[in-house]
Structure 1
Amino acid sequence: MKKLWWLLLVALPYPAVASVEDPVAHPCYMCTDDEMYAKARSLGVGSHYVYQAASQTNIQGFHVTNEGGRLVATHFVPAPWIRSQYNTFMKMYKATRGEFVDEWSTVSLQPPGSPHVMKEQVQSDTILWGHHVGDLHPQRMEARETVRRMLERSFRFDFLRADTEHGRILRFESQSHGSSPLIARLNILTSVLGYVEFYFDYDTRRWEYLRSADWNLWIQEKADDFLWPDGSTRRNVYRRELMPYFLQRAEWAGVQVSGTPLFGTPEVSYVCARNTGKIQCFAE
Protein backbone atom coordinates (compact mmCIF):
# COMPACT_ATOMS: atom_id res chain seq x y z
CA MET A 1 0.00 0.00 0.00
CA LYS A 2 2.82 2.38 0.87
CA LYS A 3 4.50 1.74 -2.50
CA LEU A 4 1.22 2.32 -4.35
CA TRP A 5 0.73 5.68 -2.57
CA TRP A 6 4.20 6.78 -3.61
CA LEU A 7 3.64 5.78 -7.25
CA LEU A 8 0.37 7.68 -7.36
CA LEU A 9 2.07 10.85 -6.17
CA VAL A 10 4.83 10.59 -8.76
CA ALA A 11 2.28 9.95 -11.52
CA LEU A 12 0.76 13.43 -11.14
CA PRO A 13 2.94 15.67 -13.35
CA TYR A 14 3.27 19.44 -13.14
CA PRO A 15 2.34 21.39 -16.32
CA ALA A 16 4.93 21.00 -19.08
CA VAL A 17 7.89 23.33 -19.29
CA ALA A 18 7.32 26.23 -21.68
CA SER A 19 8.58 25.71 -25.23
CA VAL A 20 8.76 29.48 -25.74
CA GLU A 21 11.47 31.41 -23.92
CA ASP A 22 10.44 33.13 -20.70
CA PRO A 23 10.49 36.95 -20.77
CA VAL A 24 12.99 38.72 -18.51
CA ALA A 25 12.23 41.83 -16.44
CA HIS A 26 15.14 44.27 -16.07
CA PRO A 27 15.26 46.69 -13.11
CA CYS A 28 15.54 50.45 -13.28
CA TYR A 29 15.40 51.75 -9.73
CA MET A 30 13.59 55.09 -9.15
CA CYS A 31 13.87 55.78 -12.89
CA THR A 32 12.10 58.48 -14.88
CA ASP A 33 10.33 57.57 -18.11
CA ASP A 34 13.32 58.78 -20.13
CA GLU A 35 15.65 56.64 -18.07
CA MET A 36 13.48 53.58 -18.68
CA TYR A 37 13.77 54.17 -22.43
CA ALA A 38 17.54 54.51 -22.01
CA LYS A 39 17.64 51.27 -20.02
CA ALA A 40 15.80 49.47 -22.81
CA ARG A 41 18.25 50.80 -25.44
CA SER A 42 21.18 49.62 -23.31
CA LEU A 43 19.86 46.07 -23.66
CA GLY A 44 20.30 46.14 -27.45
CA VAL A 45 18.02 45.17 -30.32
CA GLY A 46 14.98 43.12 -29.33
CA SER A 47 11.89 43.25 -27.15
CA HIS A 48 12.58 44.04 -23.52
CA TYR A 49 10.70 44.51 -20.28
CA VAL A 50 11.84 47.19 -17.85
CA TYR A 51 10.36 47.72 -14.41
CA GLN A 52 10.52 50.62 -12.00
CA ALA A 53 12.08 48.71 -9.15
CA ALA A 54 10.47 50.95 -6.53
CA SER A 55 6.98 50.20 -7.86
CA GLN A 56 4.83 47.10 -7.52
CA THR A 57 2.90 47.84 -10.71
CA ASN A 58 5.17 49.70 -13.16
CA ILE A 59 6.54 47.28 -15.75
CA GLN A 60 6.85 48.49 -19.34
CA GLY A 61 7.68 46.89 -22.68
CA PHE A 62 10.04 48.31 -25.30
CA HIS A 63 10.85 47.21 -28.85
CA VAL A 64 14.42 48.27 -29.60
CA THR A 65 15.47 48.56 -33.26
CA ASN A 66 18.56 49.73 -35.10
CA GLU A 67 17.64 52.59 -37.37
CA GLY A 68 20.56 53.89 -39.38
CA GLY A 69 23.06 52.88 -36.74
CA ARG A 70 21.00 54.41 -33.93
CA LEU A 71 19.11 52.38 -31.36
CA VAL A 72 15.47 53.42 -31.05
CA ALA A 73 13.15 52.22 -28.26
CA THR A 74 9.40 52.07 -28.92
CA HIS A 75 7.10 51.56 -25.96
CA PHE A 76 4.40 48.88 -25.83
CA VAL A 77 2.09 47.68 -23.08
CA PRO A 78 3.06 44.22 -21.74
CA ALA A 79 0.54 41.41 -22.08
CA PRO A 80 -1.97 41.10 -19.22
CA TRP A 81 -0.40 37.86 -17.97
CA ILE A 82 3.00 39.57 -17.65
CA ARG A 83 1.52 42.49 -15.72
CA SER A 84 -0.40 40.08 -13.48
CA GLN A 85 2.68 38.02 -12.68
CA TYR A 86 4.82 41.11 -12.10
CA ASN A 87 2.32 42.65 -9.69
CA THR A 88 2.02 39.41 -7.71
CA PHE A 89 5.77 38.83 -7.55
CA MET A 90 6.46 42.37 -6.34
CA LYS A 91 3.89 42.10 -3.55
CA MET A 92 5.82 39.07 -2.27
CA TYR A 93 9.29 40.63 -2.52
CA LYS A 94 11.16 40.77 0.78
CA ALA A 95 13.89 43.41 0.54
CA THR A 96 15.61 42.16 3.70
CA ARG A 97 16.13 38.76 2.05
CA GLY A 98 16.40 39.85 -1.57
CA GLU A 99 13.92 37.12 -2.46
CA PHE A 100 10.28 36.65 -3.38
CA VAL A 101 8.65 34.89 -0.43
CA ASP A 102 5.07 33.67 -0.23
CA GLU A 103 4.55 33.11 3.49
CA TRP A 104 1.77 30.75 4.54
CA SER A 105 0.16 31.31 7.94
CA THR A 106 0.00 27.68 9.09
CA VAL A 107 0.17 24.34 7.29
CA SER A 108 -0.82 20.90 8.57
CA LEU A 109 0.29 17.95 6.45
CA GLN A 110 0.81 14.31 7.39
CA PRO A 111 4.29 12.77 7.20
CA PRO A 112 4.96 9.39 5.54
CA GLY A 113 3.44 6.56 7.56
CA SER A 114 1.12 8.83 9.52
CA PRO A 115 -2.01 6.64 9.13
CA HIS A 116 -0.18 4.06 11.26
CA VAL A 117 1.02 6.46 13.95
CA MET A 118 -0.07 5.44 17.45
CA LYS A 119 -2.36 7.89 19.26
CA GLU A 120 -0.08 8.17 22.28
CA GLN A 121 2.76 9.58 20.18
CA VAL A 122 3.48 13.30 20.42
CA GLN A 123 2.10 15.78 17.91
CA SER A 124 5.44 16.24 16.17
CA ASP A 125 5.13 12.62 14.97
CA THR A 126 1.79 13.27 13.29
CA ILE A 127 2.56 16.57 11.53
CA LEU A 128 5.00 16.92 8.66
CA TRP A 129 7.78 19.40 9.53
CA GLY A 130 11.45 20.05 8.85
CA HIS A 131 12.59 16.85 10.53
CA HIS A 132 10.77 14.82 7.85
CA VAL A 133 11.95 16.71 4.76
CA GLY A 134 15.60 17.27 5.75
CA ASP A 135 18.37 15.42 3.91
CA LEU A 136 19.01 13.05 6.81
CA HIS A 137 15.54 11.55 7.04
CA PRO A 138 15.24 8.17 5.25
CA GLN A 139 11.75 9.04 3.96
CA ARG A 140 12.54 12.62 2.96
CA MET A 141 11.62 12.11 -0.72
CA GLU A 142 8.12 10.96 0.15
CA ALA A 143 7.70 13.84 2.60
CA ARG A 144 8.93 16.37 0.04
CA GLU A 145 6.58 14.97 -2.57
CA THR A 146 3.68 15.55 -0.19
CA VAL A 147 4.65 19.22 0.17
CA ARG A 148 5.25 19.56 -3.56
CA ARG A 149 1.78 18.22 -4.36
CA MET A 150 0.19 20.74 -2.03
CA LEU A 151 2.11 23.62 -3.63
CA GLU A 152 1.35 22.53 -7.17
CA ARG A 153 -2.37 22.25 -6.45
CA SER A 154 -2.64 25.50 -4.53
CA PHE A 155 -4.70 28.34 -5.98
CA ARG A 156 -2.14 30.74 -4.47
CA PHE A 157 0.14 30.03 -7.41
CA ASP A 158 -2.40 30.30 -10.20
CA PHE A 159 -0.53 33.45 -11.31
CA LEU A 160 2.30 31.16 -12.47
CA ARG A 161 -0.17 29.65 -14.98
CA ALA A 162 -1.38 33.01 -16.29
CA ASP A 163 0.16 32.49 -19.73
CA THR A 164 -2.33 29.92 -20.93
CA GLU A 165 -0.91 29.92 -24.47
CA HIS A 166 2.72 29.00 -23.88
CA GLY A 167 3.07 28.47 -20.13
CA ARG A 168 5.76 31.15 -19.81
CA ILE A 169 6.68 32.70 -16.48
CA LEU A 170 8.19 36.13 -16.01
CA ARG A 171 11.78 35.96 -14.80
CA PHE A 172 13.67 38.76 -13.11
CA GLU A 173 17.15 39.69 -14.26
CA SER A 174 18.64 38.80 -10.89
CA GLN A 175 17.28 35.27 -11.16
CA SER A 176 19.64 34.53 -14.04
CA HIS A 177 22.43 34.59 -11.44
CA GLY A 178 20.71 32.20 -9.06
CA SER A 179 19.40 34.82 -6.64
CA SER A 180 15.89 36.12 -5.86
CA PRO A 181 14.09 32.79 -6.18
CA LEU A 182 10.38 32.39 -5.58
CA ILE A 183 10.10 30.76 -2.16
CA ALA A 184 7.12 29.25 -0.40
CA ARG A 185 7.60 29.48 3.36
CA LEU A 186 5.26 27.08 5.12
CA ASN A 187 4.78 27.81 8.80
CA ILE A 188 3.89 24.54 10.51
CA LEU A 189 0.68 24.27 12.55
CA THR A 190 2.51 24.55 15.86
CA SER A 191 5.23 27.19 16.11
CA VAL A 192 7.56 24.83 17.99
CA LEU A 193 7.96 22.91 14.72
CA GLY A 194 9.08 26.02 12.85
CA TYR A 195 8.76 26.19 9.07
CA VAL A 196 9.68 24.52 5.79
CA GLU A 197 10.80 26.38 2.65
CA PHE A 198 10.57 25.23 -0.97
CA TYR A 199 11.70 27.22 -4.01
CA PHE A 200 10.29 27.22 -7.54
CA ASP A 201 12.70 25.93 -10.18
CA TYR A 202 11.94 27.83 -13.39
CA ASP A 203 13.77 25.37 -15.63
CA THR A 204 11.92 22.27 -14.46
CA ARG A 205 8.72 24.05 -13.35
CA ARG A 206 8.94 22.10 -10.09
CA TRP A 207 8.95 23.05 -6.44
CA GLU A 208 12.14 21.87 -4.74
CA TYR A 209 13.12 21.62 -1.11
CA LEU A 210 15.27 24.53 0.11
CA ARG A 211 15.66 24.37 3.90
CA SER A 212 13.74 24.18 7.15
CA ALA A 213 13.98 25.13 10.80
CA ASP A 214 12.40 24.23 14.10
CA TRP A 215 11.53 26.87 16.70
CA ASN A 216 14.97 28.52 16.51
CA LEU A 217 17.55 26.34 14.71
CA TRP A 218 18.07 25.13 11.16
CA ILE A 219 17.33 21.45 10.70
CA GLN A 220 20.64 19.61 10.24
CA GLU A 221 21.07 18.27 6.69
CA LYS A 222 24.51 16.71 7.18
CA ALA A 223 27.00 15.99 9.94
CA ASP A 224 28.81 19.33 9.58
CA ASP A 225 25.56 21.17 10.36
CA PHE A 226 25.91 20.16 14.00
CA LEU A 227 28.81 22.66 14.10
CA TRP A 228 29.00 26.32 13.10
CA PRO A 229 29.59 26.91 9.36
CA ASP A 230 33.28 27.56 10.01
CA GLY A 231 33.60 24.19 11.75
CA SER A 232 33.88 25.59 15.26
CA THR A 233 32.21 24.22 18.38
CA ARG A 234 28.47 24.88 18.57
CA ARG A 235 25.98 24.83 21.44
CA ASN A 236 22.62 23.55 20.16
CA VAL A 237 19.66 24.45 22.38
CA TYR A 238 16.33 22.63 22.00
CA ARG A 239 12.92 22.56 23.55
CA ARG A 240 12.79 19.31 25.51
CA GLU A 241 10.08 17.82 23.29
CA LEU A 242 12.35 18.26 20.25
CA MET A 243 15.33 16.51 21.83
CA PRO A 244 14.42 13.01 20.50
CA TYR A 245 14.47 14.35 16.94
CA PHE A 246 17.87 15.99 17.41
CA LEU A 247 19.19 12.67 18.68
CA GLN A 248 17.66 10.83 15.73
CA ARG A 249 19.23 13.19 13.19
CA ALA A 250 22.58 12.83 14.95
CA GLU A 251 22.31 9.05 14.65
CA TRP A 252 21.48 9.27 10.94
CA ALA A 253 24.45 11.62 10.40
CA GLY A 254 26.87 9.40 12.28
CA VAL A 255 27.35 11.98 15.03
CA GLN A 256 28.07 10.53 18.47
CA VAL A 257 26.00 11.96 21.34
CA SER A 258 26.77 11.32 24.99
CA GLY A 259 25.55 12.51 28.38
CA THR A 260 22.10 13.14 29.85
CA PRO A 261 20.51 16.62 29.99
CA LEU A 262 19.39 18.02 33.31
CA PHE A 263 15.97 16.73 34.31
CA GLY A 264 12.99 19.09 34.55
CA THR A 265 14.31 21.98 32.46
CA PRO A 266 12.17 23.23 29.53
CA GLU A 267 15.23 23.41 27.29
CA VAL A 268 18.19 21.11 26.76
CA SER A 269 21.53 21.86 25.14
CA TYR A 270 24.23 19.87 23.40
CA VAL A 271 27.73 21.13 22.75
CA CYS A 272 29.00 19.71 19.46
CA ALA A 273 32.66 19.72 18.42
CA ARG A 274 35.03 17.93 16.10
CA ASN A 275 37.37 15.59 17.97
CA THR A 276 40.05 13.56 16.15
CA GLY A 277 38.19 14.05 12.88
CA LYS A 278 34.77 12.99 14.22
CA ILE A 279 31.89 15.17 15.35
CA GLN A 280 30.71 14.51 18.89
CA CYS A 281 27.98 16.15 20.96
CA PHE A 282 27.84 16.31 24.74
CA ALA A 283 24.75 17.08 26.84
CA GLU A 284 25.11 20.00 29.22
Structure 2
Amino acid sequence: MRDVPADFPSPMARLRWVLKALRAPDGCPWDRAQTLKTIEPCLQEECYELLDAMAGDDLPHHREELGDVLLQVLFQCDIREEQGAFGFDDVVNALADKLIRRHPHVFGQATAGDTEAALRNWERIKQTERKSPKASALDGVPAALPALLRAQRTQHKAAKVGFDWKGAEGPDAKLDEEIAELRAAMREGRKEGVAEELGDALFTLVNLARHLDVDAESALRAATEKFARRFKAVEQRVKESGREMGKLSLDALDAEWDAVKREGRA
Protein backbone atom coordinates (compact mmCIF):
# COMPACT_ATOMS: atom_id res chain seq x y z
CA MET A 1 0.00 0.00 0.00
CA ARG A 2 1.31 3.44 -0.98
CA ASP A 3 1.39 6.18 1.66
CA VAL A 4 -0.02 9.55 0.64
CA PRO A 5 2.25 12.47 1.65
CA ALA A 6 0.69 14.85 4.14
CA ASP A 7 1.73 18.02 2.36
CA PHE A 8 1.94 19.16 -1.25
CA PRO A 9 3.02 22.51 -2.67
CA SER A 10 -0.37 22.97 -4.34
CA PRO A 11 -3.67 21.16 -5.02
CA MET A 12 -2.49 20.54 -8.60
CA ALA A 13 0.71 18.94 -7.34
CA ARG A 14 -1.38 16.64 -5.15
CA LEU A 15 -3.61 15.62 -8.04
CA ARG A 16 -0.66 14.97 -10.35
CA TRP A 17 0.99 12.83 -7.67
CA VAL A 18 -2.20 10.76 -7.39
CA LEU A 19 -2.36 10.20 -11.15
CA LYS A 20 1.32 9.24 -11.34
CA ALA A 21 0.69 6.72 -8.56
CA LEU A 22 -2.27 5.24 -10.41
CA ARG A 23 -0.18 4.80 -13.59
CA ALA A 24 2.87 3.43 -11.75
CA PRO A 25 3.87 -0.26 -12.09
CA ASP A 26 2.37 -0.94 -8.66
CA GLY A 27 -0.65 1.26 -9.32
CA CYS A 28 -4.17 0.52 -10.53
CA PRO A 29 -4.40 -2.17 -13.26
CA TRP A 30 -7.24 -0.33 -15.00
CA ASP A 31 -5.49 3.05 -15.04
CA ARG A 32 -2.25 1.48 -16.24
CA ALA A 33 -4.02 -0.27 -19.12
CA GLN A 34 -5.59 2.88 -20.56
CA THR A 35 -4.48 4.40 -23.86
CA LEU A 36 -5.56 7.49 -25.78
CA LYS A 37 -7.91 5.28 -27.76
CA THR A 38 -9.56 3.62 -24.76
CA ILE A 39 -10.18 6.88 -22.89
CA GLU A 40 -11.66 8.67 -25.91
CA PRO A 41 -15.25 7.66 -25.01
CA CYS A 42 -14.61 8.78 -21.43
CA LEU A 43 -13.65 12.26 -22.60
CA GLN A 44 -16.77 12.55 -24.75
CA GLU A 45 -19.02 11.39 -21.92
CA GLU A 46 -17.41 13.67 -19.34
CA CYS A 47 -17.74 16.71 -21.62
CA TYR A 48 -21.46 16.08 -22.08
CA GLU A 49 -21.91 15.54 -18.35
CA LEU A 50 -20.17 18.86 -17.73
CA LEU A 51 -22.50 20.62 -20.17
CA ASP A 52 -25.44 19.10 -18.32
CA ALA A 53 -24.07 20.31 -14.97
CA MET A 54 -23.49 23.81 -16.36
CA ALA A 55 -27.19 24.09 -17.19
CA GLY A 56 -28.27 23.42 -13.60
CA ASP A 57 -27.93 25.07 -10.20
CA ASP A 58 -26.17 22.20 -8.41
CA LEU A 59 -22.79 23.83 -7.77
CA PRO A 60 -21.14 20.78 -6.12
CA HIS A 61 -22.17 18.72 -9.16
CA HIS A 62 -20.72 21.34 -11.50
CA ARG A 63 -17.47 21.34 -9.53
CA GLU A 64 -17.30 17.54 -9.70
CA GLU A 65 -17.83 17.45 -13.46
CA LEU A 66 -15.16 20.10 -14.00
CA GLY A 67 -12.80 17.83 -12.08
CA ASP A 68 -13.73 14.85 -14.23
CA VAL A 69 -12.88 16.78 -17.42
CA LEU A 70 -9.62 17.97 -15.85
CA LEU A 71 -8.82 14.34 -15.08
CA GLN A 72 -9.13 13.48 -18.77
CA VAL A 73 -6.72 16.29 -19.70
CA LEU A 74 -4.15 15.21 -17.13
CA PHE A 75 -4.56 11.55 -18.09
CA GLN A 76 -3.72 12.33 -21.71
CA CYS A 77 -0.75 14.45 -20.66
CA ASP A 78 0.64 11.60 -18.56
CA ILE A 79 0.25 9.13 -21.42
CA ARG A 80 2.09 11.45 -23.81
CA GLU A 81 4.77 12.10 -21.21
CA GLU A 82 5.33 8.36 -20.83
CA GLN A 83 5.79 8.24 -24.62
CA GLY A 84 8.42 10.97 -24.42
CA ALA A 85 6.26 13.43 -26.37
CA PHE A 86 5.20 16.19 -23.95
CA GLY A 87 3.85 16.64 -20.44
CA PHE A 88 1.33 18.75 -18.56
CA ASP A 89 3.76 21.64 -18.04
CA ASP A 90 4.39 21.76 -21.79
CA VAL A 91 0.65 21.98 -22.44
CA VAL A 92 0.18 24.76 -19.87
CA ASN A 93 3.15 26.79 -21.13
CA ALA A 94 2.06 26.41 -24.76
CA LEU A 95 -1.44 27.59 -23.83
CA ALA A 96 -0.12 30.62 -21.93
CA ASP A 97 2.16 31.50 -24.86
CA LYS A 98 -0.74 31.27 -27.31
CA LEU A 99 -3.03 33.44 -25.19
CA ILE A 100 -0.33 36.11 -24.91
CA ARG A 101 0.40 36.03 -28.65
CA ARG A 102 -3.25 36.24 -29.65
CA HIS A 103 -4.10 39.12 -27.32
CA PRO A 104 -1.76 41.84 -28.60
CA HIS A 105 -4.30 44.43 -27.45
CA VAL A 106 -3.60 43.29 -23.88
CA PHE A 107 0.05 42.18 -23.97
CA GLY A 108 1.27 44.32 -26.88
CA GLN A 109 0.72 47.59 -28.71
CA ALA A 110 -2.37 46.64 -30.74
CA THR A 111 -5.81 48.03 -29.98
CA ALA A 112 -9.24 46.40 -29.84
CA GLY A 113 -12.17 48.61 -28.99
CA ASP A 114 -14.79 45.87 -28.95
CA THR A 115 -15.23 42.11 -29.05
CA GLU A 116 -15.29 42.00 -32.86
CA ALA A 117 -11.91 43.73 -33.05
CA ALA A 118 -10.50 41.32 -30.48
CA LEU A 119 -11.77 38.36 -32.51
CA ARG A 120 -10.24 39.79 -35.68
CA ASN A 121 -6.89 40.05 -33.90
CA TRP A 122 -7.23 36.44 -32.78
CA GLU A 123 -8.10 35.12 -36.25
CA ARG A 124 -5.40 37.16 -38.00
CA ILE A 125 -2.68 35.89 -35.69
CA LYS A 126 -4.08 32.35 -35.83
CA GLN A 127 -3.73 32.36 -39.63
CA THR A 128 -0.11 33.53 -39.49
CA GLU A 129 0.69 30.72 -37.05
CA ARG A 130 -0.55 27.97 -39.34
CA LYS A 131 2.26 25.82 -40.70
CA SER A 132 0.56 25.59 -44.10
CA PRO A 133 -2.04 27.80 -45.78
CA LYS A 134 -5.64 26.67 -45.57
CA ALA A 135 -6.94 24.86 -48.63
CA SER A 136 -10.48 25.89 -47.68
CA ALA A 137 -12.21 28.45 -45.53
CA LEU A 138 -13.91 25.49 -43.85
CA ASP A 139 -10.65 23.92 -42.66
CA GLY A 140 -10.46 23.81 -38.89
CA VAL A 141 -14.05 22.71 -38.27
CA PRO A 142 -13.69 19.33 -36.50
CA ALA A 143 -15.63 16.54 -38.20
CA ALA A 144 -16.28 14.99 -34.77
CA LEU A 145 -18.39 17.92 -33.56
CA PRO A 146 -22.06 17.23 -32.81
CA ALA A 147 -23.99 17.61 -36.06
CA LEU A 148 -25.84 20.81 -35.15
CA LEU A 149 -22.72 22.49 -33.83
CA ARG A 150 -20.70 21.43 -36.88
CA ALA A 151 -23.38 22.86 -39.18
CA GLN A 152 -23.34 26.12 -37.26
CA ARG A 153 -19.54 26.39 -37.31
CA THR A 154 -19.41 25.51 -41.02
CA GLN A 155 -21.97 28.18 -41.88
CA HIS A 156 -20.11 30.73 -39.77
CA LYS A 157 -16.84 29.98 -41.59
CA ALA A 158 -18.54 30.34 -44.98
CA ALA A 159 -20.15 33.60 -43.88
CA LYS A 160 -16.76 35.08 -42.97
CA VAL A 161 -15.72 34.97 -46.65
CA GLY A 162 -19.01 36.47 -47.82
CA PHE A 163 -21.01 33.31 -48.64
CA ASP A 164 -24.11 34.14 -46.63
CA TRP A 165 -27.56 35.68 -46.74
CA LYS A 166 -27.87 39.33 -45.73
CA GLY A 167 -30.52 38.57 -43.14
CA ALA A 168 -32.92 36.00 -41.72
CA GLU A 169 -35.31 36.39 -44.67
CA GLY A 170 -33.01 34.31 -46.88
CA PRO A 171 -32.83 31.16 -44.74
CA ASP A 172 -36.49 31.63 -43.79
CA ALA A 173 -37.54 31.38 -47.45
CA LYS A 174 -35.07 28.56 -48.04
CA LEU A 175 -36.61 26.62 -45.16
CA ASP A 176 -40.02 26.77 -46.86
CA GLU A 177 -38.39 25.41 -50.03
CA GLU A 178 -36.63 22.57 -48.19
CA ILE A 179 -39.79 21.57 -46.30
CA ALA A 180 -41.69 21.41 -49.60
CA GLU A 181 -38.98 19.15 -51.05
CA LEU A 182 -39.09 16.98 -47.93
CA ARG A 183 -42.85 16.56 -48.22
CA ALA A 184 -42.51 15.66 -51.90
CA ALA A 185 -39.96 12.96 -51.04
CA MET A 186 -42.29 11.65 -48.32
CA ARG A 187 -45.19 11.42 -50.76
CA GLU A 188 -43.02 9.52 -53.22
CA GLY A 189 -41.88 7.13 -50.49
CA ARG A 190 -38.18 7.63 -51.27
CA LYS A 191 -36.41 6.75 -48.02
CA GLU A 192 -32.99 7.98 -49.13
CA GLY A 193 -34.58 11.11 -50.56
CA VAL A 194 -36.42 11.73 -47.30
CA ALA A 195 -33.16 11.46 -45.33
CA GLU A 196 -31.39 13.85 -47.70
CA GLU A 197 -34.19 16.42 -47.71
CA LEU A 198 -34.58 16.18 -43.95
CA GLY A 199 -30.86 16.88 -43.60
CA ASP A 200 -31.17 19.88 -45.91
CA ALA A 201 -34.08 21.21 -43.86
CA LEU A 202 -32.16 20.78 -40.61
CA PHE A 203 -29.11 22.51 -42.09
CA THR A 204 -31.28 25.42 -43.22
CA LEU A 205 -32.98 25.60 -39.82
CA VAL A 206 -29.55 25.91 -38.19
CA ASN A 207 -28.77 28.70 -40.64
CA LEU A 208 -31.98 30.49 -39.70
CA ALA A 209 -31.11 30.13 -36.02
CA ARG A 210 -27.67 31.63 -36.67
CA HIS A 211 -29.19 34.66 -38.39
CA LEU A 212 -31.56 35.09 -35.44
CA ASP A 213 -28.57 34.94 -33.07
CA VAL A 214 -29.82 31.69 -31.54
CA ASP A 215 -27.46 28.80 -30.77
CA ALA A 216 -29.15 25.82 -32.41
CA GLU A 217 -27.45 23.25 -30.17
CA SER A 218 -28.56 25.05 -27.00
CA ALA A 219 -32.06 25.63 -28.35
CA LEU A 220 -32.58 21.96 -29.17
CA ARG A 221 -31.11 20.92 -25.82
CA ALA A 222 -33.56 23.24 -24.04
CA ALA A 223 -36.50 21.93 -26.08
CA THR A 224 -35.53 18.34 -25.31
CA GLU A 225 -35.22 19.15 -21.62
CA LYS A 226 -38.66 20.81 -21.66
CA PHE A 227 -40.17 17.73 -23.29
CA ALA A 228 -38.50 15.47 -20.74
CA ARG A 229 -39.83 17.53 -17.81
CA ARG A 230 -43.36 17.49 -19.15
CA PHE A 231 -43.23 13.79 -20.00
CA LYS A 232 -42.08 12.97 -16.47
CA ALA A 233 -44.91 15.12 -15.11
CA VAL A 234 -47.37 13.14 -17.26
CA GLU A 235 -45.91 9.90 -15.91
CA GLN A 236 -46.39 11.17 -12.37
CA ARG A 237 -50.01 12.19 -13.01
CA VAL A 238 -50.80 8.80 -14.53
CA LYS A 239 -49.12 6.99 -11.64
CA GLU A 240 -50.99 9.07 -9.05
CA SER A 241 -54.29 8.17 -10.74
CA GLY A 242 -53.52 4.45 -10.45
CA ARG A 243 -53.20 3.94 -14.20
CA GLU A 244 -50.32 2.70 -16.39
CA MET A 245 -48.73 4.64 -19.24
CA GLY A 246 -48.61 1.70 -21.64
CA LYS A 247 -52.32 0.97 -21.23
CA LEU A 248 -53.61 4.46 -22.04
CA SER A 249 -54.69 5.61 -25.49
CA LEU A 250 -52.82 8.39 -27.25
CA ASP A 251 -55.86 10.65 -26.77
CA ALA A 252 -55.74 10.04 -23.02
CA LEU A 253 -52.01 10.75 -22.91
CA ASP A 254 -52.51 13.92 -24.94
CA ALA A 255 -55.12 15.04 -22.43
CA GLU A 256 -52.64 14.52 -19.58
CA TRP A 257 -49.99 16.40 -21.55
CA ASP A 258 -52.32 19.35 -22.05
CA ALA A 259 -53.20 19.30 -18.35
CA VAL A 260 -49.53 19.47 -17.41
CA LYS A 261 -49.06 22.47 -19.72
CA ARG A 262 -52.13 24.25 -18.31
CA GLU A 263 -51.03 23.69 -14.74
CA GLY A 264 -47.51 24.83 -15.51
CA ARG A 265 -46.10 21.79 -13.74
CA ALA A 266 -43.22 21.55 -16.21
Whether these two folds match at TM > 0.5 is no
The interval holding the TM-score normalised by the smaller chain is under 0.3
Which structure has greater strand proportion? Answer: 1
Q: Between Structure 1 and Structure 2, whose CA radius of gyration is higher?
A: 2
Q: TM-score, normalised on structure 1? A: 0.22
